[in-house]
């Protein structure tokens, strides 16, 4: 922990859903919405724009995008960053490539499967090259 404030970067493909999210954040009060950088559009493009070092990546995607998303963010993952993946049982087909990648014997991730409903995968990024 650096003691510095951070920012949450969220992505949403659909503008209407993004507006709903913004309204919820405004209802929280305390300026919560100022701490969230909501990027609307194709996440593989929006995550390429000025991405700070990442401490935590939450993947809760119902499509074939989890592995491409991780690979887009990977150059910005801080050593020791946590990658959380939701619904790895109910979304097993969509997460197949991602899980093979992070669980692979030559990978840079330490993994544990957490026994929540539909299962939750937690990976810690431990690159052999410590510059990552």
Q: Set out the domains of the chain in order of their start, with CATH numbers.
A: 1-51 (no CATH), 53-132 (3.40.50.150)
Q: How far is CA 117 from CA 16, 18, 60, 83, 109, in A?
A: 28, 26, 14, 18, 23
The whole-angstrom separation of Cα 121 and Cα 119 is: 7
Kindly report, residue by residue over 17-75, the tens digit of the pLDDT: 999 999 999 999 888 888 999 999 999 999 988 888 999 999 987 678 899 999 999 99
CB atoms within 10 A of CB 109: 20
Kindly report, residue by residue over 83-120, the tens digit of the pLDDT: 998 888 878 888 889 999 999 988 899 999 888 887 88
Residue of 26, 102, 3, 115 whose CA lies nearest to 57: 102
Looking at residue 132, what is its pLDDT? 46
Angle at 43 between CA 72 and CA 51, to 5 degrees: 55
Residue 5 scores a pLDDT above 80: no
pLDDT category, 12, cuts 50, 70, 90? very high
CB atoms within 10 A of CB 44: 14
pLDDT category, 82, cuts 50, 70, 90? very high
CB 40 within 8 A of CB 18: yes
CB 18 within 8 A of CB 38: yes
CB atoms within 10 A of CB 98: 25
- Report the SS3 class of residue 123: strand
Looking at residue 91, what is its pLDDT? 80
Read off the pTM.
0.85
The whole-angstrom separation of Cα 33 and Cα 29 is: 8
């Amino acid at each position: 922990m650096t003691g510095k404030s951070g920012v949450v970067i969220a992505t949403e493909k659909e503008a209407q859903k993004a507006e709903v999210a913004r309204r919820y954040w405004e209802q929280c009060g305390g300026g919560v919405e100022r701490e969230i950088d909501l990027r609307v559009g194709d996440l593989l493009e929006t995550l390429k724009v000025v991405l700070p070092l990442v401490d935590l990546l939450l993947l809760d995607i119902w499509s074939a995008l989890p592995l491409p998303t991780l690979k887009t963010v990977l150059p910005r993952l801080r050593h020791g960053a946590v990658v959380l993946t939701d619904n790895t049982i109910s979304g097993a087909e969509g997460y197949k490539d991602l899980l093979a990648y992070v669980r692979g014997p030559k990978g840079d991730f330490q993994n544990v499967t957490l026994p929540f409903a539909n299962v939750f995968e937690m990976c810690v990024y431990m690159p052999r090259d410590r510059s990552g």
